[in-house]
Structure 1
């Protein structure tokens, strides 16, 4: 598996993963195009590729000394094989490279698997956004300080 910068040509494969992973609150293709339009100025989006197939993707927003994980998704049959960890490691490195001192994210309260990954990477729960997602599910807000 290798990581590379996401391009607009990747959107069909990325949107298929997006819709499968987040069926209740998937981003639209237009939203992702907007994110890519800000790359590399304030955004950093990568895809994970294995055997010439996109198996996951992730995105980061950085403004001043603060970064936000915008999204991470991995094909269901490729989860628990290190892809998500590789994507998150890349986002953390990019946030540091851009001078961020802390990084934030929101994760669905009904997704303990993702929460445990974030906790393993040093993220701590800092609050709850009630009914944040379209289906009324709460979002757990998490933060991690970034060292040099």
Structure 2
């Protein structure tokens, strides 16, 4: 992701997360953050933004900051591709674990995360506008 992607990403973020959306300024600040890595997926034919994701790596830990897929592109494996890429990036940067927060009512995301080895560690009551967050972790070491 580059600065010139941010307006489109913010629009998709608004669709995906509603009142919990990030602002343009917050995305730009996150892009500039040390240890932060962001990716976008675009349609090869139309250049339409299909999804985006962000990861922060510090020491032996990494955190998925955000991940979303365009409604028109859901069910095509884009979130899986983004997340496996983030996991690979975390591993290559020396992380031994990846953490993330997810709405407790987001069944598709929970299924994806569990299929990639994430396990629930705890709950953050009221973390989202109208839902709790589940804290999940995937270990990257054997």
TM-score by length of 1: 0.91
Residue 54 (structure 1) shift: 1.4
**Other structure's SS at 2:95 match:** coil
1:134, distance to aligned residue in structure 2 (A): 2.6
Paired position in structure 1 for 2:94 = 99
The aligned counterpart of 1:47 is 40
Question: Which of 131, 134, 138 is the matching residue for 2:129?
Answer: 134
Superposition deviation, residue 147 in structure 1: 3.2
Structure 1: which 5+ residue stretches go unaligned? 1-5
Deviant stretches of 4+, over 4 Å: none
Instruction: Work out the CA distance in 2 between the residues paired with 1:97 and 1:143.
Output: 17
Please list the CA deviations of residues 8-56 of structure 1 after superposition, one character each: whole Å capped at 9, or x if unmatched: 0001111111000001210111110001112xx3101000011212110
Aligned to 1:17: 12
1:143 aligned onto 2:142? no
State the structure with bigger RCO (CA 8 A, min sep 6), 1 or 2.
1
Q: CA RMSD in A?
A: 1.0
What does residue 103 of structure 2 align with? 108
Larger helix fraction of residues:
2
